[in-house]
Amino acid sequence: MTTITDLTVKDIQGNDQPLQAYKGHVLLIVNVASKCGYTPQYRGLEALHEKYKDQGLRVMGFPCNDFGAQEPGSNEDILQFCTLNYGVEFEMFDKVHAKGPNQSPLYARLTTVPPAGDVAWNFEKFLVNRQGEVVARFPSSVAPDSPELISAIESALGA
């Protein structure tokens, strides 16, 4: 069975980024948007990055314009917005489709793992263990500092 780390994505500069490079890390994959009610979650995602990066967590932001056209900008615009407004230092990637006929291979894989189904909105979070397997999924309403997300991250880091 294919794991997340068998895929290749593009970073926000448009370069191929094999996810194999993240094998052995815990990944928090989030579809992000700059003009969403959940956009302030960037701050919390950056706090998770700062707190857990040395233990092996990689927060990965995938801009997505699928929900309410809330990420209309170019990759350059998105990166500038995130850096200036939220001090984002976690890794950002090329704009993707999280659902629909042009769904990225990454999201096609993420959304087949139970609880399977389409991404519902911006800032949905997928937690991937060190073996490249999706181990948890959190809806947009689960904030980055929520006890349930932090517990799942700490559990994955400790495994």
Tens of pLDDT, residues 74-103? 999 999 999 999 999 999 999 999 999 999
DSSP character string of the chain: ---GGG-EEEBTTS-EEEGGGGTTSEEEEEEE-TTSTTTTHHHHHHHHHHHHGGGTEEEEEEEB-TTTT---S-HHHHHHHHHHHH---SEEB--B-SSSTT--HHHHHHTTSSS-S---STT-EEEE-TTS-EEEEE-TTS-TT-HHHHHHHHHHHH-
pLDDT of residue 159: 79
User: What's the CA gap between 137 and 142, in Å, rounded?
Assistant: 10
Tens-place pLDDT, residues 10-48:
999 999 999 999 999 999 999 999 999 999 999 999 999
pLDDT at 84: 96
Active site residues: 36
Q: What is the pLDDT of residue 1?
A: 53
Where residue 113 falls among pLDDT bands split at 50, 70, 90?
confident
Residue 60 pLDDT more than 70?
yes
Q: Name the CATH superfamily housing domain 4-153.
A: Glutaredoxin (3.40.30.10)
Spell out the domain ranges in the chain: 4-153
pLDDT > 70: percent of the chain: 99
116-134 mean pLDDT: 95
